[in-house]
Amino acid sequence: MQTIFFLSLLSLFPSFLFSQDSALFTPEKRKAFADHLFCEKDYLRASEEYEGLQSVNKSDSLSYYIGLCFLKMNDYEKAKDYFSQLKNSSLGEESRLLFLKTSFLLNKNIEGESDSSSNQFMNKELKTSFRRLELAAQIKAGMDQTNPLSLNNHFEESDAQILKSFADKFSHPNSKSPFAAALFSTLLPGAGKIYTKNYGDGITSLIVTGLFTFLWYDNFRAGHPTRAWIFAGLTGFFYWGSVYGSYISARNYNLEKEEELNNEFQSYLSSKNYFIPTEIEGSCK
Protein backbone atom coordinates (compact mmCIF):
# COMPACT_ATOMS: atom_id res chain seq x y z
CA MET A 1 0.00 0.00 0.00
CA GLN A 2 2.78 2.40 0.92
CA THR A 3 4.57 1.52 -2.30
CA ILE A 4 1.50 2.38 -4.37
CA PHE A 5 1.11 5.71 -2.50
CA PHE A 6 4.79 6.57 -3.08
CA LEU A 7 4.54 5.79 -6.79
CA SER A 8 1.45 7.94 -7.07
CA LEU A 9 3.32 10.88 -5.54
CA LEU A 10 6.18 10.37 -7.98
CA SER A 11 3.76 10.39 -10.91
CA LEU A 12 2.31 13.71 -9.72
CA PHE A 13 5.69 15.38 -9.18
CA PRO A 14 6.50 16.07 -12.89
CA SER A 15 3.05 17.59 -13.36
CA PHE A 16 3.67 19.82 -10.35
CA LEU A 17 7.05 20.93 -11.75
CA PHE A 18 5.53 21.60 -15.17
CA SER A 19 2.78 23.76 -13.69
CA GLN A 20 5.35 25.67 -11.64
CA ASP A 21 7.57 26.09 -14.69
CA SER A 22 4.62 27.39 -16.72
CA ALA A 23 3.85 29.92 -14.02
CA LEU A 24 7.43 31.13 -14.01
CA PHE A 25 7.52 31.65 -17.77
CA THR A 26 4.28 33.48 -18.41
CA PRO A 27 4.54 36.24 -21.05
CA GLU A 28 4.16 38.88 -18.35
CA LYS A 29 7.04 37.52 -16.28
CA ARG A 30 9.21 36.98 -19.33
CA LYS A 31 8.54 40.57 -20.40
CA ALA A 32 9.49 41.78 -16.91
CA PHE A 33 12.70 39.72 -17.11
CA ALA A 34 13.52 41.19 -20.54
CA ASP A 35 12.91 44.71 -19.19
CA HIS A 36 15.22 43.91 -16.28
CA LEU A 37 17.96 42.77 -18.67
CA PHE A 38 17.47 45.94 -20.71
CA CYS A 39 17.83 48.15 -17.65
CA GLU A 40 20.91 46.18 -16.62
CA LYS A 41 22.33 47.01 -20.08
CA ASP A 42 22.44 43.34 -21.06
CA TYR A 43 21.06 44.27 -24.45
CA LEU A 44 21.94 41.05 -26.26
CA ARG A 45 20.00 38.81 -23.88
CA ALA A 46 17.23 41.38 -23.62
CA SER A 47 16.82 41.40 -27.41
CA GLU A 48 16.64 37.59 -27.42
CA GLU A 49 13.90 37.65 -24.79
CA TYR A 50 11.94 40.34 -26.65
CA GLU A 51 12.29 38.39 -29.91
CA GLY A 52 11.08 35.24 -28.16
CA LEU A 53 7.98 37.08 -26.96
CA GLN A 54 7.52 38.65 -30.39
CA SER A 55 7.40 35.23 -32.00
CA VAL A 56 4.45 34.34 -29.76
CA ASN A 57 2.58 37.61 -29.66
CA LYS A 58 3.65 40.42 -31.99
CA SER A 59 3.39 44.00 -30.77
CA ASP A 60 4.74 47.40 -31.71
CA SER A 61 6.16 47.83 -28.23
CA LEU A 62 8.26 44.67 -28.48
CA SER A 63 9.58 45.64 -31.93
CA TYR A 64 10.42 49.08 -30.57
CA TYR A 65 12.44 47.63 -27.70
CA ILE A 66 14.21 45.19 -30.01
CA GLY A 67 15.21 48.20 -32.13
CA LEU A 68 16.42 49.97 -28.98
CA CYS A 69 18.55 46.96 -28.04
CA PHE A 70 20.26 46.98 -31.44
CA LEU A 71 20.71 50.75 -31.20
CA LYS A 72 22.38 50.37 -27.78
CA MET A 73 24.62 47.62 -29.18
CA ASN A 74 25.65 49.96 -32.05
CA ASP A 75 24.10 47.62 -34.61
CA TYR A 76 22.58 50.57 -36.42
CA GLU A 77 21.50 48.74 -39.58
CA LYS A 78 19.25 46.32 -37.67
CA ALA A 79 17.98 49.11 -35.42
CA LYS A 80 17.11 51.18 -38.47
CA ASP A 81 15.15 48.29 -39.99
CA TYR A 82 13.01 47.91 -36.87
CA PHE A 83 12.33 51.65 -36.52
CA SER A 84 11.53 51.87 -40.23
CA GLN A 85 8.81 49.23 -39.84
CA LEU A 86 7.24 51.20 -36.98
CA LYS A 87 7.06 54.64 -38.58
CA ASN A 88 3.30 54.33 -39.10
CA SER A 89 2.57 52.51 -35.84
CA SER A 90 1.34 53.69 -32.46
CA LEU A 91 5.00 54.51 -31.72
CA GLY A 92 5.43 56.24 -35.07
CA GLU A 93 6.80 59.59 -33.91
CA GLU A 94 9.39 58.07 -31.58
CA SER A 95 10.35 55.50 -34.23
CA ARG A 96 10.74 58.12 -36.96
CA LEU A 97 13.05 60.16 -34.75
CA LEU A 98 15.17 57.14 -33.82
CA PHE A 99 15.16 56.03 -37.47
CA LEU A 100 16.76 59.37 -38.37
CA LYS A 101 19.22 59.05 -35.51
CA THR A 102 20.40 55.66 -36.79
CA SER A 103 20.68 57.15 -40.29
CA PHE A 104 22.84 59.91 -38.87
CA LEU A 105 25.02 57.40 -37.02
CA LEU A 106 25.41 55.42 -40.24
CA ASN A 107 26.59 58.61 -41.99
CA LYS A 108 23.58 58.48 -44.28
CA ASN A 109 22.17 61.62 -45.85
CA ILE A 110 19.16 62.19 -43.62
CA GLU A 111 17.95 65.16 -45.66
CA GLY A 112 16.12 62.96 -48.16
CA GLU A 113 14.93 60.52 -45.51
CA SER A 114 13.59 63.31 -43.31
CA ASP A 115 11.57 65.16 -45.97
CA SER A 116 8.53 62.96 -45.55
CA SER A 117 8.79 63.08 -41.76
CA SER A 118 9.20 66.80 -41.14
CA ASN A 119 5.49 67.53 -40.81
CA GLN A 120 4.52 64.31 -39.05
CA PHE A 121 5.49 65.22 -35.50
CA MET A 122 2.56 66.26 -33.35
CA ASN A 123 4.66 66.16 -30.20
CA LYS A 124 6.41 69.53 -29.95
CA GLU A 125 9.45 68.16 -28.09
CA LEU A 126 10.01 65.43 -30.68
CA LYS A 127 9.57 67.90 -33.52
CA THR A 128 12.22 70.15 -31.94
CA SER A 129 14.53 67.13 -31.54
CA PHE A 130 13.96 66.24 -35.18
CA ARG A 131 14.91 69.74 -36.31
CA ARG A 132 18.00 69.74 -34.08
CA LEU A 133 19.19 66.43 -35.53
CA GLU A 134 18.55 67.74 -39.03
CA LEU A 135 20.69 70.82 -38.34
CA ALA A 136 23.44 68.64 -36.86
CA ALA A 137 23.44 66.60 -40.08
CA GLN A 138 23.75 69.79 -42.14
CA ILE A 139 26.71 70.90 -40.02
CA LYS A 140 28.48 67.55 -40.42
CA ALA A 141 27.93 67.66 -44.18
CA GLY A 142 29.72 71.03 -44.25
CA MET A 143 26.71 72.80 -45.71
CA ASP A 144 27.30 76.56 -45.85
CA GLN A 145 23.56 77.16 -45.83
CA THR A 146 23.31 76.15 -42.18
CA ASN A 147 21.55 79.27 -40.96
CA PRO A 148 22.98 80.71 -37.71
CA LEU A 149 19.50 82.05 -36.97
CA SER A 150 18.12 78.49 -37.10
CA LEU A 151 20.72 77.41 -34.55
CA ASN A 152 19.74 80.29 -32.26
CA ASN A 153 16.05 79.39 -32.64
CA HIS A 154 16.43 75.68 -31.89
CA PHE A 155 19.25 75.49 -29.36
CA GLU A 156 20.24 77.01 -26.07
CA GLU A 157 22.70 79.88 -26.48
CA SER A 158 25.71 77.89 -25.26
CA ASP A 159 24.93 74.95 -27.57
CA ALA A 160 24.27 77.31 -30.49
CA GLN A 161 27.71 78.89 -30.09
CA ILE A 162 29.44 75.50 -30.00
CA LEU A 163 27.52 74.33 -33.07
CA LYS A 164 28.40 77.52 -34.96
CA SER A 165 32.04 76.77 -34.25
CA PHE A 166 31.63 73.23 -35.59
CA ALA A 167 29.75 74.54 -38.64
CA ASP A 168 32.67 76.85 -39.44
CA LYS A 169 35.19 74.02 -39.02
CA PHE A 170 33.23 71.64 -41.26
CA SER A 171 32.57 74.22 -43.99
CA HIS A 172 36.13 75.61 -43.85
CA PRO A 173 38.32 72.67 -42.83
CA ASN A 174 41.90 73.20 -41.78
CA SER A 175 43.34 71.29 -44.72
CA LYS A 176 46.59 71.25 -46.68
CA SER A 177 46.80 71.21 -50.48
CA PRO A 178 48.48 68.02 -51.76
CA PHE A 179 49.54 69.84 -54.94
CA ALA A 180 51.06 72.71 -52.96
CA ALA A 181 52.93 70.18 -50.79
CA ALA A 182 54.29 68.46 -53.92
CA LEU A 183 55.30 71.83 -55.43
CA PHE A 184 57.14 72.88 -52.26
CA SER A 185 59.15 69.65 -52.28
CA THR A 186 59.88 70.14 -55.97
CA LEU A 187 61.49 73.47 -55.12
CA LEU A 188 63.16 72.24 -51.93
CA PRO A 189 63.20 68.53 -50.99
CA GLY A 190 61.27 67.89 -47.78
CA ALA A 191 59.60 71.33 -47.74
CA GLY A 192 56.21 69.81 -48.57
CA LYS A 193 56.40 67.50 -45.58
CA ILE A 194 57.36 70.40 -43.33
CA TYR A 195 54.31 72.23 -44.78
CA THR A 196 52.14 69.33 -43.61
CA LYS A 197 53.80 69.49 -40.17
CA ASN A 198 55.64 66.22 -40.77
CA TYR A 199 58.83 67.87 -39.60
CA GLY A 200 60.95 64.79 -38.95
CA ASP A 201 60.45 63.29 -42.41
CA GLY A 202 60.83 66.70 -44.05
CA ILE A 203 64.20 67.41 -42.46
CA THR A 204 65.36 63.84 -43.16
CA SER A 205 64.37 64.16 -46.84
CA LEU A 206 66.26 67.44 -47.12
CA ILE A 207 69.43 66.03 -45.52
CA VAL A 208 69.44 62.71 -47.45
CA THR A 209 68.68 64.31 -50.81
CA GLY A 210 71.29 67.00 -50.15
CA LEU A 211 73.88 64.40 -49.16
CA PHE A 212 73.41 62.28 -52.30
CA THR A 213 73.42 65.43 -54.45
CA PHE A 214 76.81 66.38 -52.95
CA LEU A 215 78.19 62.84 -53.49
CA TRP A 216 76.95 62.90 -57.08
CA TYR A 217 78.68 66.22 -57.78
CA ASP A 218 81.81 65.32 -55.84
CA ASN A 219 82.35 62.02 -57.70
CA PHE A 220 81.86 63.66 -61.09
CA ARG A 221 84.33 66.35 -60.12
CA ALA A 222 86.81 63.68 -58.89
CA GLY A 223 86.57 61.71 -62.13
CA HIS A 224 84.56 58.70 -60.84
CA PRO A 225 81.66 58.58 -63.33
CA THR A 226 80.35 55.15 -62.33
CA ARG A 227 79.95 56.11 -58.69
CA ALA A 228 78.67 59.51 -59.78
CA TRP A 229 75.84 57.94 -61.83
CA ILE A 230 74.94 55.64 -58.94
CA PHE A 231 74.65 58.65 -56.62
CA ALA A 232 72.77 60.55 -59.33
CA GLY A 233 70.23 57.74 -59.46
CA LEU A 234 69.88 57.73 -55.69
CA THR A 235 69.51 61.50 -55.71
CA GLY A 236 66.67 61.27 -58.24
CA PHE A 237 65.03 58.46 -56.30
CA PHE A 238 65.00 60.40 -53.02
CA TYR A 239 64.12 63.69 -54.74
CA TRP A 240 61.02 62.37 -56.50
CA GLY A 241 60.22 60.22 -53.49
CA SER A 242 60.14 63.41 -51.45
CA VAL A 243 57.78 65.05 -53.97
CA TYR A 244 55.38 62.11 -54.03
CA GLY A 245 55.69 61.58 -50.27
CA SER A 246 54.76 65.21 -49.67
CA TYR A 247 51.62 64.78 -51.78
CA ILE A 248 50.63 61.71 -49.74
CA SER A 249 51.56 63.45 -46.49
CA ALA A 250 49.10 66.27 -47.27
CA ARG A 251 46.33 63.78 -48.04
CA ASN A 252 47.01 61.89 -44.79
CA TYR A 253 47.07 65.18 -42.87
CA ASN A 254 43.62 66.08 -44.24
CA LEU A 255 42.20 62.64 -43.43
CA GLU A 256 43.54 62.80 -39.87
CA LYS A 257 42.11 66.28 -39.32
CA GLU A 258 38.77 65.19 -40.77
CA GLU A 259 38.67 62.18 -38.47
CA GLU A 260 39.62 64.30 -35.45
CA LEU A 261 36.85 66.79 -36.22
CA ASN A 262 34.28 64.02 -36.79
CA ASN A 263 35.25 62.34 -33.51
CA GLU A 264 35.07 65.65 -31.65
CA PHE A 265 31.64 66.40 -33.11
CA GLN A 266 30.37 62.87 -32.42
CA SER A 267 31.63 63.12 -28.84
CA TYR A 268 29.81 66.41 -28.33
CA LEU A 269 26.57 65.09 -29.84
CA SER A 270 26.86 61.89 -27.81
CA SER A 271 27.17 63.93 -24.60
CA LYS A 272 23.90 65.60 -25.60
CA ASN A 273 22.37 62.25 -26.65
CA TYR A 274 22.04 63.74 -30.14
CA PHE A 275 19.39 66.04 -28.66
CA ILE A 276 17.02 63.06 -28.47
CA PRO A 277 14.80 62.87 -25.34
CA THR A 278 16.24 60.12 -23.16
CA GLU A 279 12.80 58.84 -22.15
CA ILE A 280 12.03 57.58 -25.66
CA GLU A 281 15.10 55.33 -25.54
CA GLY A 282 13.80 53.13 -22.77
CA SER A 283 12.98 54.30 -19.27
CA CYS A 284 14.57 52.49 -16.35
CA LYS A 285 13.94 53.29 -12.73
Instruction: Give the mean pLDDT of the chain.
Output: 84
- pLDDT score of 118: 53
Q: What per-residue string of b and e applies to 223-257 under the rule 16 or more CB within 10 Å gives b?
A: eeeeebeebbebbeebbeebbebbbebbeebbeee
- pLDDT score of 16: 40
pLDDT band at 113 (very low <50, low <70, confident <90, very high): low
Convert the pLDDT of each residue in 150-161 to its tens digit.
788 888 889 989
pLDDT reading at 18 higher than 90: no
Convert the pLDDT of each residue in 57-77 to its tens digit.
888 999 999 999 999 999 999
Lowest mean pLDDT among 27-31, 177-181, 241-245, 266-270: 27-31
Domain ranges for the chain: 178-267
pLDDT band at 21 (very low <50, low <70, confident <90, very high): very low
Lowest mean pLDDT among 106-120, 175-189, 211-225: 106-120
- pLDDT score of 24: 55
- pLDDT score of 186: 93
Task: Yes or no: say if 125 and 277 are a contact pair by the CB < 8 Å rule.
Answer: yes
Q: CA 95, CA 120: separation in Å to the nearest integer?
A: 12
- pLDDT score of 141: 80
Convert the pLDDT of each residue in 196-205 to its tens digit.
999 999 999 9
Residues contacting 26, CB < 8 A, separation 6+: none
Q: CA 46, CA 29: separation in Å to the nearest integer?
A: 13
Cβ of 285: how many Cβ atoms within 10 Å?
3
pLDDT band at 90 (very low <50, low <70, confident <90, very high): confident
- pLDDT score of 17: 38
- pLDDT score of 5: 42
Task: Yes or no: say if 114 and 130 are a contact pair by the CB < 8 Å rule.
Answer: yes
- pLDDT score of 87: 83
pLDDT reading at 245 higher than 90: yes
Task: Yes or no: say if 82 and 101 are a contact pair by the CB < 8 Å rule.
Answer: no
pLDDT reading at 108 higher than 90: no
